[in-house]
Structure 1
Amino acid sequence: MTFSVVARCAETGQLGIAISSSSIAVGARCPWLRPGVGAVASQNITLPSLGPQILDLLEQGMTPSEAVAAVFAGQDHRDYRQVTVIDRLGRTAHFSGAQTLGLHAALSGEQCVAAGNMLANPGVIAAMVGAFENASGHLADRLLAAMHAGQALGGEAGPVHSAALVVVDDLLWPIVNLRVDWADAEPIGALDQLWQAYRGQLQDYLDRALHPHIAPGYAVPGDDR
């Protein structure tokens, strides 16, 4: 039902998640990020509360492995969950319960961890990790490179319909938060198009939030700056 990559940029400390699913609006349920703390993808038969719970434990000083173990120790239905985690230091953990759907896998790499279920190909997740590790540019570019690599090997066994891309830096809000909640085909491609349109405006929106007195105008009627 879902495949994703969770990662950190070693140069900037930014944290990010890219994810796609056959289900509608995957970005509303599965990616959880907290600036300066970590990022969690909660997928398979999704329990959204796992994301905040694990992030709380990371913030208290646990490692990703410790946080995952602590959260699942009290979960009656852990066999149905698949979770990946990265913290602010780039440490990772992953968990796939015994009831994870279909062909599934999870793999940690350098500053990243990828996972999926109901996969079309056993090599999908390894390809995603390799693509992230070998890509360059903004963290969002590297996350999308991983998603394209996974999709090139078949991605999910059935058609995917939604995708999301979220990146946090040192602000309280995501600097990138883009979603394709439903597409009949190629939501990852549509998400990439959104990112290409947004990337040139990213700094403008940060300036508008942080430095409104010098921020660029909106180029709309009524804005005469």
Structure 2
Amino acid sequence: MTFSLVARSADGRRHGVVVASRFLAAGALVPAAEAEVGALATQAHVNLAYRPQGLTLLRTGVAAADVVAGLVAADPDRDHRQLGVVATSGAGATWTGPSCHPWAGGQAGDGWAAQGNILAGPQVIDAMRDAWLGGVALPFPDRLVAALHAGDRAGGDRRGRQSAGLLVVERGGGYDSSDVLVDLRVDDHPDPVTELGRLLAVHTLLFGRPDPATLLDLTGAVAAEVGALLATLGHPVDPARPEEALFSWAGLENLEERLVPGRIDPIVLDHLRRAAPHVPGPRPATDPLTADN
């Protein structure tokens, strides 16, 4: 009923699972991941016990293939299960029980494993594999979703579409320094993979960390424009505390993760411009090499 990919980033700092299915809220059941430990997906006839048991084995340094072997060996219903696992190093591993509904199967390689059942055919897994391997230039969460898109375009679940989910972990990489970098679900939607991609874009806007190379000094023309924009939105700037209005507005917009004292993220500035587009006058470039700093 499901196709999924479990993977590790090239630097080993991130682990993630992406999944889609013609099944309600697959993202609530399939994925499990722990920062600096590994990730796994349990599907077909889901065994929720695989999640804590698998992470416990990974935490003790057991290789992905041995985690799969140990979990299915102890499971009397293993013939109906499907499982994918990645550890902190080495190849991923996948299992497809012989009683899973066709088409069912999986593939694995260094730091990844893709699997699916009730699929349109083996081309779904091939497409996910190729997209994953070819997506090295993408940010890790986007790379996972791109692989899921490829599987969906190749036919995905042969019964249709309903849900999708994405879970990515990194030590201290998430909101308020949590280990959950991304945790998004589309539980019931006619095009869940596309909707998951939209949610990831919103997540990146709100919770992405600013790129130090692109930050603009909050002085000169940049400061003047920011002050004018904030004033039109009901946040006049106090010259004695010039950042207070910006931080107040950004907090209401859920952009606090992108705030840097004395500087402004061009993404925050663009969002501010869209919120108050009627402010007249020239606007400084948001290219840090050409901005009036």
TM-score of the two chains, using structure 2 as the length reference: 0.68
TM-fit CA distance, 1:146: 0.5
Question: What are the superposed Cα offsets for residues 110-163 of structure 1, whole Å, 9 maximum, x if unpaired?
Answer: 421110000112211011011011012211111111111111111110112000
Question: What are the superposed Cα offsets for residues 196-223 of structure 1, whole Å, 9 maximum, x if unpaired?
Answer: 111122236xxxxxxxxxxx54226xx9
CA distance in 1, matches of 2:97, 2:12: 33
Number of the residue aligned with 2:148:
147
- 1:174 correspondence with 2:180: yes
| Higher percent of residues as helix | 2
Deviant stretches of 4+, over 4 Å: none
| Higher percent of residues as strand | 1
**Equivalent position amino acid for 2:115 in 1:** A
Question: What are the superposed Cα offsets for residues 35-58 of structure 1, whole Å, 9 maximum, x if unpaired?
Answer: 110000000011111121111011
CA distance in 1, matches of 2:31, 2:182: 13
CA distance in 1, matches of 2:83, 2:138: 26
SS, match of residue 201 in structure 1: helix
* One of 188, 192, 206 as aligned partner of 2:193: 188
**Equivalent position amino acid for 1:202 in 2:** F
CA distance in 2, matches of 1:104, 1:126: 12
Structure 1 stretches lacking a partner, 5+ long: 205-215
- 1:45 correspondence with 2:45: yes
TM-fit CA distance, 1:91: 2.7
2:8/2:86 contact within 8 Å kept: yes
Structure 1 residues 58, 139: CA separation in 2 closer, same or farther (over 3 Å shift)? same
* One of 196, 203, 207 as aligned partner of 1:198: 203
Number of the residue aligned with 2:252:
219
CA distance in 1, matches of 2:149, 2:208: 25
2:13/2:170 contact within 8 Å kept: yes
In our comparison, the structure showing a higher alpha carbon Rg is 2
- 1:33 correspondence with 2:33: yes
SS, match of residue 56 in structure 1: helix
CA distance in 2, matches of 1:93, 1:121: 20
SS, match of residue 175 in structure 1: strand
1:168/1:176 contact within 8 Å kept: yes
Number of the residue aligned with 2:165:
164
CA distance in 2, matches of 1:90, 1:25: 30
CA distance in 2, matches of 1:91, 1:134: 17
Matches for 1:63-74 after TM superposition, within 5 Å: 63-74=63-74
For this pair of structures, how many residues does the alignment match?
Answer: 211
Matches for 1:109-128 after TM superposition, within 5 Å: 109-128=109-128
Query: Relative contact order, CA 8 A, sep 6+: which one is greater?
Result: 1
CA distance in 1, matches of 2:108, 2:75: 23
1:8/1:90 contact within 8 Å kept: no
TM-fit CA distance, 1:90: 4.3
**Aligned-pair Cα RMSD in Å:** 1.9
SS, match of residue 180 in structure 2: coil
SS, match of residue 200 in structure 1: helix
TM-fit CA distance, 1:12: 5.5
**Equivalent position amino acid for 1:189 in 2:** T
SS, match of residue 103 in structure 1: coil
Structure 2 stretches lacking a partner, 5+ long: 173-177, 210-246, 257-293
